[in-house]
Every structure is written in C-alpha cells, then in structure tokens.
C-alpha cells in the first residue's frame, strides 16, 4: 500500500471527504486528491500535517524502512491487518505467529515453518543460498 492509498484509507475510515481533509490540513483539495492518486508524493512536512489532521503517526503513512523500531512496529501493524499476524505474551516473553484461520495467515504460517526448517537444517552457506533464491527454493528437503 503506497502513501496515497494509506491517506485514503485513514481518511475514509474517519468519514472524511477529500475536501474535509484538505481543510483540516490547510491544503487544496486537488493536493489531497493527487496524493491519494499517487500523482504526487507529499513532502515530509506535508506528510506530518496530514498525519496530524488524521490524528495518526506519520509513520503510519510511510513505507516502512525497517531501520527504526517505530517503523518496524508499523510494519508489524500492517502485517497484523493484512496477514493475520498476532502478538502473544506468555511468561513475560512476547512472540508472533499468524492466525491460521485467516486465509493469508495460513500461508504465512507455512512459510514461517519453511524458514524455521531451513535455518535449523541447513549450513550457513546453504541457508544464505536458500534465502537468496526464496521463494524458488521455499522448502527444505527433509532428511
């Protein structure tokens, strides 16, 4: 989902029209429309203004760069919404898994099992080759 699609998502979730968001941001309606259509990308300052008007974090609108813990958290939130990622806390330890009852979660759970199997059974060199060729080599030959 690109920045414009995310702006549209949060705007419509709040029942706002493009002109409503534009007014809250003190921008033109055409600017909001062009951002949502992907014709233009908001500059960092405008992104902050839009996020503030939508009462969300600017990180929620960005494509995660995964170079910061905050960006990584927003990537996890996206995975929760899109793929059924769940966070579970047991005995003071948090771990993640995918909801196998959600269509996409079942596929992701299988892919994580493939990953775990590869990490456990392959040498470091074989594992690097496995990662580089994934998904072409998405399963490990069970011995």
Q: What is the pLDDT of residues 36-49, one digit of tens each?
A: 999 999 999 999 99
**At the fourth CATH level, which superfamily is domain 3-60?**
lambda repressor-like DNA-binding domains (1.10.260.40)
Give 74-119 pLDDT, tens digit per residue.
889 988 988 889 999 999 999 998 888 777 767 888 888 899 999 9
Report the pLDDT value the prediction gives residue 142, as an integer from 0 to 100: 44
Residue 53: φ, ψ to 5°: -65, -30
3 state DSSP class of 130: helix
Domain boundaries, the chain: 3-60, 69-98
DSSP string covering 40-90? S---HHHHHHHHHHHTS-GGGTSPP-SSSHHHHHHHHHHHHHHH-EEEEEE
């Amino acid at each position: 989902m690109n920045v414009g699609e995310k702006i549209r998502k949060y705007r419509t979730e709040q029942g706002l029209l493009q002109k409503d968001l534009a007014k809250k941001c003190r921008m033109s309606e055409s600017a909001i429309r062009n951002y949502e259509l992907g014709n233009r990308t908001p500059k960092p300052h405008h992104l902050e203004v839009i996020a503030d008007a939508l009462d969300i974090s600017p990180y929620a609108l960005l494509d995660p760069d995964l170079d910061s813990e905050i960006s990584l958290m927003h990537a996890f939130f996206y995975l929760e919404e899109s793929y059924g990622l769940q966070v579970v806390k047991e005995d003071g330890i948090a771990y993640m898994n995918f909801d196998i009852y959600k269509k996409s979660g079942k596929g992701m759970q299988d892919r994580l099992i493939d990953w775990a199997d590869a990490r456990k059974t392959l040498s470091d060199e074989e594992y690097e080759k496995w990662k580089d060729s994934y998904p072409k080599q998405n399963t490990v030959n069970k011995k």
